[in-house]
């Protein structure tokens, strides 16, 4: 049974930082690119960050580029999202995802497995 379990969400002030973690089990972690998506109230789920299988490359949309950093530790089956300079617009439920298809299109269709999500709230 594949499980992705996020942690680290919470309430922070604008300009602050949070680090999210996602621990994977039930899969061969190193075979999957790992992603973060987020979904704000009333909005579609959107891509936030991706990291390749070995951790050699990362990808971000313009909305978070320069502020967020994705990383992974394959020995710990864990992917992280470091979020700095947080804005109120970053408030959302953040979801960890595993993507094994080798796609370079960062859409919902690339995802094989989803975590349950963790809430991030940024106060302004």
For residue 1, is pLDDT > 90? yes
The predicted-structure confidence for 105-120, as pLDDT tens digits, reads as follows 999 999 999 999 999 9
According to the model, what pLDDT value does residue 80 have? 98
How many CB atoms within 10 Å of residue 41? 7
Per DSSP bridges, beta strands 18-25 and 3-7 are antiparallel
Supply 42's token pair: 């009333």
């Amino acid at each position: 049974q594949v499980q992705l379990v996020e942690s680290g969400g919470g309430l922070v002030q604008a300009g602050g930082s949070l680090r999210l973690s996602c621990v994977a089990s039930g899969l061969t972690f190193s075979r999957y690119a790992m992603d973060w998506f987020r979904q704000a109230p009333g909005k579609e789920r959107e891509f936030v960050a991706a990291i390749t299988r070995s951790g050699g490359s990362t990808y971000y949309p313009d909305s978070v580029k320069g502020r967020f950093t994705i990383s992974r530790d394959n020995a710990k089956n864990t992917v992280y999202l470091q979020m700095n300079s947080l804005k109120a617009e970053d408030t959302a439920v953040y979801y960890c995802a595993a993507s094994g298809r080798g796609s370079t299109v960062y859409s919902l269709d690339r995802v094989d497995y989803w975590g349950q999500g963790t809430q991030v709230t940024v106060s302004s």
